Structure formats: C-alpha cells, structure tokens
Structure 1
Amino acid sequence: MSAPQDILSRRAAITVFLAFAGAYFLSALLRAVTATLSPVLTAEFNLHARDLGLLAGGYFLGFAAMQLPLGAWLDRHGPRKVNVALLALAVCGCAVFALAGGFAALLTARVLMGMGVAACLMAPLTGYRRWLRPAMQLRANSWMLMTGSLGMLASTLPVQWLLPLVGWRPLFWGLAALLLLAMAVIALTVPGWRQDAMKTEASRAEQSSASGSKDSYGEIARNAYFRRASPLGMVCFGGMVAIQSLWAGPWLTQVAGQTPLHAATGLFWINLGMLITFWSWGLWMPRMAARGIHVDTMVARVQPLSFVALAALVALGPAAGGWSFALLALYCVLSTPSAQVQPVVAMAFAPHLAGRALSAYNLVIFAGIFMVQWGIGLGADAFESLGWPPAAALRGAMGVFGVISLACWARFAYAARR
C-alpha cells in the first residue's frame, strides 16, 4: 500500500490534476483533429480511405509502441520526468506535420505525435495510484477522460473555424507552442517521485531481472482480470475511440451527405456528449463504489445498448440524414462503461506495478484503436473493390466491426457471471 505521506492534500491534488489535464487536452486534440481535417488532407494529398485510416492510425501506432517501456519508466522515474521528456517528441511531430510535403511526412509526424503524448494519460493515472485514495482515483480517471473529450471538442468546430483564417499548417505551429507551455507547467507544479520510493522501485526492478518473471509484464499478462478485460478494451472501447476520432467525420460526409461544416458541427455535439458523460461518471463513480456497484456490472448492463445504437446507424445509413450525429453520439456515450475498466485494472495490482499495468492495458486499447481505424478503411476499400458504392462500403465495414465488438463484450460479460 502507499505510504500515508504519498497522499496529496486537496489543493495539491487539484493543482496536479490541472497540470496534467492541460497536456491531455492537447493530446486528445491531436488525436482527433484528423477527423476534421480529413476533407482538406484528402483533397490536398489525394488520399484514399486506407491512407486516411493509416494516417489517423499512425498516431496510435506511435502511442502503442511506447507503452511497454513507458510503464517501466513511470514506475522508476515518476510521472513528471517521463511526461515532460516525451512531450518534446510531440512538439517535433507538430513541426514535421506543419512542414509536410507528402503522405510519408504526414505519417511520420503522426507517429511522432503519438509517441510524444504516450504518457499524457498514463503519467497522471500512475501518479494518482500513489497520490489519491481509491474512490478518488475513479473520479480522477473519469475527469481526465472528460478533459480528453474537451480536447476532442476543440478539434471540431473551433478547428473548422480556424482553417479559413490561418490554414492547417500554422494551426500545428500553434499546437507545438502550446505543448511547450504544457511541459513547463508540469515541470513546475507536479511533484517528483520520492527518493525512497524510487530506490524501492530500482530494488524491485533488480529483483525482477534476477528472478526473470516477478513484477514483470509477464506477471501482468497472466493476471486473470487483465486477460478478461483486454478484448473489451481493445475492440469495444478502442473501437469507439477509433470511430469518434476518425470515422465519424467521413460517415457524416460520405454516408449522411453532410457538408464539412455540418460534419464538424455534428462532431462537436458528439464530443460535447462525451464530455458531459465523463463528467457525470466522475461524480457517480465514488458513490457507486461506496454502494458496492462494480464496474463489471455496469459494463454488462449498459454496454449492449451501444450495439443497438450502432446497428441502427448502419441499418438506416443515408436515411438517418441530419440525425446521424445523434446515433453516433448515442453509440459513443453508451460505450463509456468500458472506459471505467482501466482504473480497475490498475487497482488489481500493487502500487509499484501500477505504471506497467496501466501501460500494458493502454497498449491493448491503442493497438485496438489503430487496428479498427485502419481496418475500417481497408474494409471499406475492399467492399468498394467488389463494386459497392462508397457509402455502402463504409456501412459494410462498420457493420463487420459491430459484430466483432459484440463478441468481445459477450466474452467479458460471460466471464463476469462465472
């Protein structure tokens, strides 16, 4: 258990939360901005659906590649040092994107961005495992996700309004400057790992190396709850993020027939709904935990409703018209119970393994986001090659994803009953 002196005072906890929230806001904005920029980038660089999916997924590829080393770094060096160091890569990524002259440069920049913001959620969650009491960890996790929704909200209409005024390249120079500011705020306000705690981590790491398995990622991978939650995180939660951060935009323009401005407006309302949902989860989670209502129960009972919304979206297709954004929003909101599993995974392990447990689970999630983003693009292109119109091809790819997502939820729910 954490030593009592690790627990932050209320004022210090708020300060630390806000410092980390600023960086996570920017990371979420970078994650989702391709949905808003997709018409511009498609026209300027002549991108296919698979290119757009790979470009958006490049962020998650870079993000996922950092997760395993990230966990060990967080446990050893602490959230402040690791987050500040990695954010420098995100600054470089924004600069490369702003200067890009072709698809290869755009993809490289997206990978750098993903690598650079890889600690923006894991760093605070690792710190919260040691600095906050369990019920507050659930609240802080939900409100960090709310901050991410705010960043995704900023990637919609605000970005669409800025494009005619400044263009997409200066936009990324501005994001690079804001990332530098976030680095400075974290460095000045977030506490470091206590020296005795760092020595303990180093000692445990040496013991792990000597024993070959104890306190390693192998121990995490063998954990029953981690194994049960992984398909849910990869496909259900990861797939929802993939749709929210990329395919919701093309769906609104290609299937629903919306203009880019109307699509950006729809994305704005989707992300606003997510923001309110995560804010509500932050209020409810400590109360529900106090009443003995487990996260698994909420996933089993609420998550299936998201599949109903997704099925309606695919079945109606163009017939949903201007209300397509409402079905997308409903699908995303009803998928959020699976997001609450992440802090439960962390609490299934001792505090000195929190960074590795969170990073391993985050690797699962972001690998899922990458696979779903690219997979839907590949599926849409495959259906088009069979002669399907673009709108029908995207509906077909989304329908296949829905079936796989339902199967992963069923596995989690069945194991929970057992």
Structure 2
Amino acid sequence: MSLLARRQAVLVFLAFAFAYFFSALVRAITATLSPTLTAEFRLNAADLGLLAGGYFLGFAAIQLPLGTWLDRHGPKKVILWFLAVAVLGCAAFALATSFSWLLAARVLCGAGVSACLMAPLTGYRRWFSPPVQLRTNSWMLMTGSFGMLSSTLPVQWLLPVAGWRPLFWGLAALMALAMALIAWQVPRWDTEEAGADATQGSYREVWRHPYFLQMTPVGFFSYGGMIAVQTLWAGPWMVRVAGYEPLASAGGLFTINICMLATFWSWGMLTPSLQRRGIGTDTLIAWGLPLSFVALGALIVMGPAAGAFTLALFCMSSTFVSLAQPAVGMVFPASLAGRALSAYNLVIFLGVFIVQWGIGLLIDAFRAGGFAEVQAFRAAFSVFLATSVLSYAWFLWSRSHNRRQSP
C-alpha cells in the first residue's frame, strides 16, 4: 500500500487515537477504583492484583491470532470486531455482582481492546514512513497517557455523583462511538495484497529473530512492570505505604499520568531527529533504562516517604523501553508487521499480568511471614527490581553478541 496523504494520515491517527484513549482508561481505572472495589467485594491484595491483571491476561491471550488476522484482514476490519467485544465487556463489568463476574468481565475488556494499539501500528507500518512511525507510536502512547490521566481525578470526582457502574455504561457507549469513527475514517485494506503477504513468514521467524530475543526480557520485566505499577500498584503504594487518602491518591495518579503524557509527547518530538543523528533504540535503552532502577531503588529505600513524585520518576525513566516496540516492527518486512508487533505486545502484557499479580502474591506472602504491610510492599518491590536488573543484563549481553545493526 502507498503512503497516505498528510490530511488523511491525520484523520486516521485521530480515529485510532480516540479508541486507544478509552482502552487505556479501562486499563488504568482499577487503580482509582481499588478502594471502592476492595470495600464492596472484600478483596485482598492477591485478588486486587488478579482483577487488574485479568485485563492483561485477556489482552495477552488474543495477541498471536490477532497478529495473523491483522496481516490478513487489515486493521480496520479487525479492530471493529474487537471493539464490539470491549463494549460487551464494559457492560458486563457494570452488571457484576461477584468477584468472579468482575474478573470475567475484566478479561473480556482486555481481549476486546487488544487491537487498539496493534491495529494502528500495523497500518502505520504500511501507510507511514519510518520516522513518522516512531513519532506516531510515541504519540499513540501519549494518547494512552491521556486515557490514564482521565482514569484518576476525573473518575474520583465522578464516583460520588454517578457511581462506578454507570461509568462503565458510559465507557461502553463511547467505545461504540469509536467504532463509528474508525468505520468512517480508516481506509480499507488491500485484501488481495494482504492475503498474499500473510502467507509469507511465520511466528517462528519472529520468535527466533535475534533482535526480538534481545528485546524480550526488558519488554517483559521493565516495560511490563512499569505498566503494572502505573495501572495498579502506584495507587495502593500511595494509600497503604505513603498514607495518602483516596482523593490524594487519585491526585498522585493524575500527576504520574500527566508526567507520562509529557514524556511520550517528548519522545514523539525527539525520536526522528535522534534517528537521523545515528542515536538508535539500543543506545537509548542502554543509556536510559538504568535511571529507572535508581528511581525504583529510591522508592524502596524511602518507603513511606516516597509518593507520587518518586513513582512518576520511575515510570518516566522506564519509557526508554517503549522505543523497542516500533523498532521490533521495523526489523521485519511489512508482511510480518502485524505478527511481529503482536508477538512483542504479547511479551509486554504477559509481563504486566505476571508482575501485577506477582507483586500482590508477594505482598500477601511477606505479610503471612510476619512482615508489616509497609515492609511487605518494600520486599515485593525489591524482587521486582532484581528481575528488572537481570533483564537489562540480558539485553546488554545480547546486544554485544548481536550482529544485526540496531534499527
């Protein structure tokens, strides 16, 4: 397919971004709702981690078939079907009367919005030039930060007025509107070309690629872990470790997400010029990712003295790994773009699920072992820090042995 004209490209981006905004809001809303859901359904830390992680479990479970469908049928057709599932998931969550019902609805939501980033990135791979792909990837993530921002103070303000169930009915309606915008603005896929391309290559080629293997552990632990903290554990840390009230915690989440929004906007502005100067993805990750370890270490050491500012520093410094996603997509030919991007997304969101649930399990285990709640949180986050450092060591070792030039 040929590159889109500027005006059409902008409209396509905005239509996809509208859908991704609400997918990110649904992803992050459990951090703000955690006190309400914990009280209403009597959830412990492991339940809360599993509930938040259920979104990512549903998301991850569909990634491999999603990649094949995107390459074969194109982003427009695939995302419309998936958003219909997301509408059903939001409606089911609004009707939930038990934890198991909540969890099933959460998994359905995750599966339904699983195409909201992969579909546009697959389309961008054919419709946009490489520098524009790097920029639009960062700006899609910036849009996601807008969604996460909206899941904090705005949701906290609406809760006493509307309640959490009507919020999910509203989300169902807005996702239906997103479907209408995509149907109107996104161009059709060339099905003959896509059908021929989709038979070229396989997931085996993706999984075995040295660059994909190089990026897998940092995507799983550092990127996935950052999302796990941003979308769930930042809230409980501020309430149960730093002593924030629920409204102050929502304000802290608002601060974190507005910092992330500014960070992704900055990446979108900077990455094309950095690429032109020969500063590639690998170099940026190698230089920048250790900053996240320093921030996470500070969070653990400071304990109750560490709040929204330290959490924001950790999340912002972890965004160096976000550059890996478009870089992985550009390593492969356009015929494999959907599968390569979805395979890497699977890695990331499996990481989110494991880290999100794992931190909850560790907190409960440390408390059962006699730790006070603050110490249990610090110990669980210390385990997370150790896994992140080990994944970075693998990245450095693989990079030094990888003959492929960084994208």
Same fold (TM over 0.5): yes
| Aligned twin of 1:308 | 294
1:247 has 2:230 as partner: no
CA–CA separation in structure 1 for the residues paired with 2:192 and 2:65:
22
Question: Deviation at 1:71?
Answer: 0.2
| Aligned twin of 2:83 | 87
Find the partner of 1:66 among 62, 66, 69: 62
1:148 has 2:144 as partner: yes
Q: Deviations over 1:288-342 (max 9, x none)?
A: 011111111010011101110110111110133xxx1100000000000100000
Question: Deviation at 1:387?
Answer: 1.1
| Aligned twin of 2:6 | 10
| Aligned twin of 2:268 | 282
Question: Deviation at 1:417?
Answer: 3.2
Query: Aligned ranges for residues 130-141 of structure 1 at < 5 Å?
Result: 130-141=126-137
Structure 1 stretches of at least 4 aligned residues deviating more than 4 Å after TM superposition: none
Find the partner of 2:361 among 378, 396, 409: 378
Question: Deviation at 1:98?
Answer: 0.4
CA–CA separation in structure 1 for the residues paired with 2:21 and 2:288:
27
Query: Aligned ranges for residues 202-213 of structure 1 at < 5 Å?
Result: 204-205=198-199
| Aligned twin of 1:325 | 308
Question: Deviation at 1:413?
Answer: 2.0
Q: Deviations over 1:216-266 (max 9, x none)?
A: 101110100001100010000000000000000000000000000000000
CA–CA separation in structure 2 for the residues paired with 1:130 and 1:298:
25
| Aligned twin of 1:416 | 399
Amino acid at match of 1:134: P
| Aligned twin of 1:342 | 325
Contact between 2:25 and 2:150, CA under 8 Å: does it hold in 1?
Answer: yes
Question: Deviation at 1:411?
Answer: 1.2
Query: Aligned ranges for residues 3-42 of structure 1 at < 5 Å?
Result: 3=1, 6-42=2-38
- Unmatched tracts of structure 2, length 5 or more: 402-407
Three-state SS of the structure 2 residue aligned to 1:192 is coil
Amino acid at match of 1:275: L
1:258 has 2:244 as partner: yes
Amino acid at match of 2:224: G
Three-state SS of the structure 2 residue aligned to 1:365 is helix
Question: Deviation at 1:194?
Answer: 1.6
Find the partner of 1:404 among 372, 384, 387: 387
| Aligned twin of 1:119 | 115
TM-score scaled by length of structure 2: 0.97
| Aligned twin of 2:375 | 392
1:365 has 2:348 as partner: yes
TM-score scaled by length of structure 1: 0.95
1:96 has 2:92 as partner: yes
| Aligned twin of 1:212 | none
Question: Deviation at 1:117?
Answer: 0.2
Question: Deviation at 1:415?
Answer: 2.3
Amino acid at match of 1:389: A
CA–CA separation in structure 2 for the residues paired with 1:166 and 1:113:
21
